[in-house]
Each structure stands twice: as structure tokens, then as C-alpha cells.
């Protein structure tokens, strides 16, 4: 299937590793030119070189700290040829209502959701001037299964779900689609390192880390490439009527974890 993406330009925040890199590779495989945003300039250069060599697309990099208020406007001023904006930059943070200070809340929120908000505000005029485009927000399934153990992350993801859904109608008048994506456990480099450490402690062998996923659907976590492939189709012209949706790629974990009548006291014998 030709996704009709060849020659488009996508900008990906947090694009040098993890889910962002998986998205970058999937888009590049379809001929999409890239702008990768992250804080580590050395890492960015290495990833850009690899993608250019493998997929023969143009890859620009931009080192930026999206915690900073001015970063989004600075990025937009230098990359006005973007057709697809992927908001992905995130630093997961746990902590309960009682343990997270005001300063921590404000610092965390300055990246997610406010980093996403600032990027959308900066790039909507660009997309409108180019005749339309797509905004894809990587949100997170924790917003659907909130817990006081990670109350900040749950609240920020819930806020981004509302923003994504709320923008869709008005932005459709500018030929801009807006989508959200919820993942659960993903085999990013950082997560696999953590799984290996946990397996070494709890199972006595770091190599047994996949066994820690036995409670997940299909007894495994998602791969960054699977998220990238789904997003690539959704932002393509082949899905041109898809907007205002927050799509879950969690193997059915959230749906099967939510309480229902069928699982409760009123369940039929």
C-alpha cells in the first residue's frame, strides 16, 4: 500500500531514542524527511546519520530543551516546512499527591502537557499556511488508568486527551488533523535496561527479563516499531478522515483492566 507520504516532512520531539526513534524510522521507511528534536546533540547526530544512510531521506536535527518557554517558537522559526508534527518528548515521573511538591508539578507540567501545547500553538499557523497537515500527540494509557502512585503522569495524559479531542473540529476547518496515541509498556532501550535490572534482582538472571511481562496481553510489551508503524499509517493521506481520536496500542490492557458489570458482583453465573 502506497501511503502517499514520500517527500513530506515530519518533526518529532524526543526523536533520538525510544518511541520517538521508532516513529522516525517508520516514517523514514515511507520516504518522509525528518526534523529530530532532542537535548543530546551528539546522540541526534548519530541517529540522523544512521537514518539517512538506511532510508535515503533528508534528516535535520535541532538540539532544544522543551522545558523552556521559548523553545517551541525557536524551533518553528527554523523549520517552517513541516507537514506532520509529532509531540513525543516526555520524562515519566511517579509520585503521589502527598509526595510531589508544587515545584515538581510545575517543572513536570512545563514539558507535558505545556511543551505539547506550545509546540501546537507554534506550528498550527505553519500547517495552515501549507494547506493543512497532521498533529500527532503521544499521550499514554496511564491517563485511562490513573493511580495515586503516578498522579502527575495520569493527570498530564488526561489533559492531553481532552486537548487532542477538543481541537479536532476547529482545526479541521484549517485542513489540520489532530490525533493522540496511548501506549502502555513499551520495550524502549531505557525500559529494557530497567527490566534487566529487575530480572537480575527478582529472578537471578537479567536475561530472563521477558518473563516480567507474563501479565501483559500476549505476554509481551509493545515494540517502538509497532507504535511507529501505526502512527505512520494514521498520519498518511490514506487515513485522511481520521481526526479527534486517541488510539490505544496497549494489547487491550486498559479495556480488560477497567471494572465492568460482567466482572463485578452483578456478573451472570
pLDDT tens-digit series, residues 65-119: 999 999 999 999 999 999 999 999 987 777 788 888 888 888 888 999 999 999 9
- Alpha-carbon gap, residue 239 to 217, rounded angstroms: 27
pLDDT in tens, 178-236: 999 999 999 999 999 999 999 999 999 999 999 999 999 999 999 999 999 999 999 99
Q: Which three cell numbers stand for residue 110?
A: 512545563
| Partners of residue 62 on adjacent β-strands | 37
Q: State the pLDDT confidence band at 260, using cuts at 50, 70 and 90.
A: low
- Alpha-carbon gap, residue 118 to 115, rounded angstroms: 5
Is residue 132 over pLDDT 50? yes
Find all residues with CB under 8 Å of 80, minimum gap 6, and list them.
126
Q: State the pLDDT confidence band at 266, using cuts at 50, 70 and 90.
A: very low
pLDDT in tens, 153-188: 889 999 999 999 999 999 999 999 999 999 999 999
| pLDDT for 261 | 46
Contact 76, 64 (CB under 8 A): no
Task: Count CB atoms within 10 A of the CB of residue 141.
Answer: 20
Rounded mean pLDDT, 12-19: 96
Closest CA to 3 of 25, 22, 26: 26
Q: State the pLDDT confidence band at 268, using cuts at 50, 70 and 90.
A: very low
Is residue 134 over pLDDT 90? yes
Is residue 264 over pLDDT 60? no
- Alpha-carbon gap, residue 26 to 228, rounded angstroms: 5
The domain 9-186+224-246 is classified under which CATH number: 1.20.58.100, 3.90.1150.10, 3.40.50.720, 3.30.110.40? 3.40.50.720
Q: What is the pTM of this model?
A: 0.92
Q: Which of 18-27, 200-209, 249-258 has the lowest mean pLDDT?
A: 249-258
Angle between helices 18-29 and 41-55 (to 10 degrees): 30
Amino acid at each position: 500500500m502506497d501511503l502517499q507520504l514520500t517527500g513530506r516532512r515530519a518533526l518529532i520531539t524526543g526523536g533520538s531514542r525510544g518511541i520517538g526513534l521508532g516513529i522516525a524510522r517508520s516514517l523514514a521507511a515511507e520516504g518522509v524527511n525528518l526534523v529530530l528534536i532532542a537535548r543530546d546533540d551528539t546522540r541526534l547526530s548519530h541517529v540522523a546519520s544512521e537514518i539517512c544512510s538506511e532510508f535515503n531521506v533528508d534528516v535535520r536535527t535541532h538540539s532544544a530543551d522543551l522545558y523552556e518557554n521559548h523553545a517551541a517558537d525557536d524551533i518553528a522559526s527554523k523549520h517552517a516546512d513541516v507537514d506532520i508534527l509529532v509531540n513525543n518528548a516526555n520524562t515519566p515521573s511517579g509520585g503521589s499527591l502527598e509526595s510531589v511538591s508544587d515545584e515538581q508539578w510545575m517543572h513536570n507540567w512545563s514539558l507535558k502537557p505545556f511543551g505539547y501545547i506550545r509546540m501546537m500553538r507554534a506550528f498550527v499557523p505553519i500547517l495552515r499556511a501549507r494547506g493543512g497537515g497532521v498533529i500527532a500527540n503521544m499521550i499514554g494509557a496511564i491517563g485511562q488508568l490513573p493511580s495515586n502512585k503516578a498522579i502527575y503522569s495520569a493527570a498530564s495524559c488526561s489533559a492531553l486527551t481532552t486537548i487532542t479531542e477538543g481541537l479536532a473540529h476547529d482545526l479541521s476547518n484549517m485542513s489540520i488533523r489532530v490525533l493522540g496515541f496511548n501506549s502502555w509498556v513499551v520495550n524502549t532501550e531505557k525500559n529494557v535496561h530497567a527490566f534487566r535490572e529487575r530480572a537480575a534482582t527478582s529472578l537471578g538472571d537479567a536475561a530472563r527479563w521477558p518473563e516480567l511481562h507474563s501479565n501483559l496481553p500476549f505476554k509481551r510489551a509493545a515494540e517502538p516499531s509497532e507504535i511507529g508503524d501505526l502512527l505512520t499509517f494514521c498520519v498518511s493521506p490514506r487515513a485522511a478522515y481520521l481526526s479527534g481520536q486517541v488510539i490505544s496500542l496497549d494489547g487491550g490492557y486498559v479495556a480488560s483492566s477497567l471494572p465492568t458489570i460482567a466482572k463485578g458482583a452483578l456478573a451472570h453465573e
